[in-house]
Amino acid sequence: MTQAEAKNVNVWYNNFQALKNINLTFEPNTITALIGPSGCGKSTFLRLFNRMNDLIPKFRLEGMVTVNGQNVYSDDVRLDEMRKNVGMVFQKPNPFPKSIFENVAYGLRVNGINNKKILEETVEHSLKQAALWDEVKESLKKSALELSGGQQQRLCIARALAVQPKLILMDEPASALDPISTAKIEELIFELKKTYTILIVTHNLQQAGRISDLTAFLYLGELIEYNHTKKIFLNPDDERTQNYITGRFG
Amino acid sequence: MTVIDNNIEQIKSDLIQMWTLVINQMEKARLALVNGDKNLAREVRMNEKRVDAFELKLDMDSEYVLMLKNPVAIDLRFILSVLKINYNIERIGDYANGIAKVAERLDGPVPEDILQATHLPEMFYTAQNMIHVSLKAFENSERNSVNHLFGMDEKLDKTNNNANAIICKLIQEKPDDIMLILNALSVMRKLERTGDHILNVAEELIYYFDANIVKHSKKNEDF
């Protein structure tokens, strides 16, 4: 079963066409890296899956974007319901100015879950999944803002996991972190694959190589090549892909 | 030109120099053998150290690129191929050195009748041609000429397969020249091994050009 899909997707910002006829499918329990030079449309593409582009003025979409077989741009879709299935992690950690516990519990409370036992169990489970539990279990009431950058990013991942999404979108999740925190995040992403489907935008090609199963190379709004990561990094079919990953343009 | 381009150009240039040196070593070893030129044989043995130095430098420089430059795609295939080509070319340098040692041991040139009976001139020609063709294929990215190497190696194998019969017959005919004949046999073996090493190089070139692994495939297959 396909977890997420983009079918004949075209996107415009006013008159500028940001994505050109993209067709991609994502299978469950895979990590797909979206790579390409700045402005190639990879973040735009990523944000289609939780409709984060909707608020951008003059944004226009043609084509279909589905998660779990449901068209996320369909008129009858409730955004809050849809986003429960699609977690998002951003480049810079963005914890709320609340306690560690309340950050993770936030999504549940928004969805009307206030049962203390359920909240405690979910917070613990999510923090364990995000490989942060052992570091914060004694200080759950501490402000999230007191955590290190790497810990804050894992907290944001725990917050995304708490509502049990199917798809997790990551937009350069480790680019603001030091190598040790980056390694932890990468290890975590690799573990999360067992349960979730992950799309990750990254400018770090070595990171794409280390963690992803599949890689999509976008250039000037077009999908140039989509294949197994090993194939892309050993012998890409398209010369533009080779030029990009070997640093010869972009 | 990117940073890694500079490294790759340097490595390519060093490998071509080493390859050319080994071609010269093999030619000098041949001349030393057929002309009984001990001075030339000694020169080959002295130059063997240069071949070894190239091998070490290429190993180190390739490791450096792997460690610090994160090569991918064609760059990665280039470095992985160079590491193996380097090893094989150095081994051919060893055979040239071994042939030079034989030339040093002999009292004079190998007599013409023994050269002809052992097919050493043809074997030298084929082996040296293979080294030359493989170098040109690498230097100029001549993918098609790599395929010719497989056919050339078959010629060497064919002669080598008859080597025991040839040598037995020669010993029977010239029992007084037994040491000379056994030395000729050792040169035949070295030239046959040279062909094998060039085939290894050919496989690495195919990997570099096409990303195809053809090791352990049937040699006659058209790659």
Q: Give residue-wise pLDDT tens across range A76-95.
A: 999 888 988 999 999 999 99
One DSSP character per residue, A105-145 reads HHHHHHTT---HHHHHHHHHHHHHHTT-HHHHTT-TTSBGG
What whole-number distance in Å separates Cα of residue B186 and Cα of residue A73? Answer: 78
What whole-number distance in Å separates Cα of residue A158 and Cα of residue A105? Answer: 9
What is the DSSP pairing of strand A16-26 with strand A4-13? antiparallel
Q: Over chain B, what is the mean pLDDT?
A: 95
* Average pLDDT, integer, range B87-114: 97
* Predicted confidence (pLDDT) per residue in B188-221, tens digit: 999 999 999 999 999 999 999 999 988 887 654 5
Spell out which residues of chain A touch residue B77, defining contact as CB-CB under 8 Å: 234-235
Cα of A117 to nearest chain B Cα, Å: 49
Nearest to A247 among B4, B77, B210 (CB): B4
pLDDT band at A250 (very low <50, low <70, confident <90, very high): very low
Spell out which residues of chain B touch residue A234, defining contact as CB-CB under 8 Å: 72-73, 76-77, 211
Spell out which residues of chain A touch residue B80, defining contact as CB-CB under 8 Å: none
* Predicted confidence (pLDDT) per residue in A169-221, tens digit: 999 999 888 898 899 899 999 989 999 999 999 999 999 999 999 999 999 99
Partner-chain contact A233 B77, CB within 8 Å: no
pLDDT of residue A176: 85
pLDDT at B111 over 80: yes
- Quick check: is B220 in a domain? no
The domain that holds B124 is classified in CATH as 1.20.58.220
* Average pLDDT, integer, range B44-71: 96
Partner-chain contact A245 B70, CB within 8 Å: no
pLDDT of residue A152: 96
What whole-number distance in Å separates Cα of residue A88 and Cα of residue B51? Answer: 57
Burial state string for B53-68 with b = 16 or more CB within 10 A and e = fewer than 16: ebbebbeebbeebeee
Cα of B211 to nearest chain A Cα, Å: 6
CA B93, B97, B101 angle in degrees (round to 5)?
170
From A238, which residue of chain B is nearest by alpha-carbon distance? B73
Partner-chain contact A234 B70, CB within 8 Å: no
Q: Which residues have a Cβ under 8 Å from the Cβ of A159 and sit 6 or more positions away?
A: A95, A103, A104, A106, A107, A126
- Quick check: is B218 in a domain? no
pLDDT of residue B175: 95
* Average pLDDT, integer, range B154-164: 93
- Quick check: is B193 in a domain? yes
What whole-number distance in Å separates Cα of residue A41 and Cα of residue B79? Answer: 33
CATH classification code of A4-85+165-245: 3.40.50.300
Nearest to B70 among A206, A234, A235 (CB): A206
pLDDT of residue A93: 93
- Quick check: is B36 in a domain? yes
Q: Look at B100 and A1; give whichever has higher pLDDT.
A: B100
The total domain count for chain B is: 1
* Predicted confidence (pLDDT) per residue in A21-34, tens digit: 999 999 999 999 99
What whole-number distance in Å separates Cα of residue B53 and Cα of residue B123? Answer: 28
SS3 letters for B74-96? HHHHHHHHHHHHHHHHHHHHHHH
Kindly list the distances between the CA atom of residue A11 and the CA atoms of A14, A64, A74, A249, B131, in Å, as whole numbers in the listed order: 9, 11, 16, 24, 56
pLDDT at B107 over 80: yes
pLDDT band at B2 (very low <50, low <70, confident <90, very high): confident
pLDDT of residue B169: 95
What whole-number distance in Å separates Cα of residue B74 and Cα of residue B180? Answer: 48
- Quick check: is B42 in a domain? yes
What whole-number distance in Å separates Cα of residue B73 and Cα of residue A239? Answer: 11
pLDDT of residue B118: 96
Spell out which residues of chain B touch residue A245, defining contact as CB-CB under 8 Å: 72-73
Q: Where in chain A is the domain with CATH 3.40.50.300?
A: 4-85+165-245
* Predicted confidence (pLDDT) per residue in A111-153, tens digit: 899 999 999 999 999 999 999 999 999 999 999 999 999 999 9
Structural domain containing residue B131: 3-210
pLDDT at B223 over 90: no
Are the C-beta atoms of A118 and A77 separated by less than 8 Å? no
Q: Which of B1, B4, B5, B74 to mutate to test the interface with A (most CBs of A within 10 A)?
A: B74
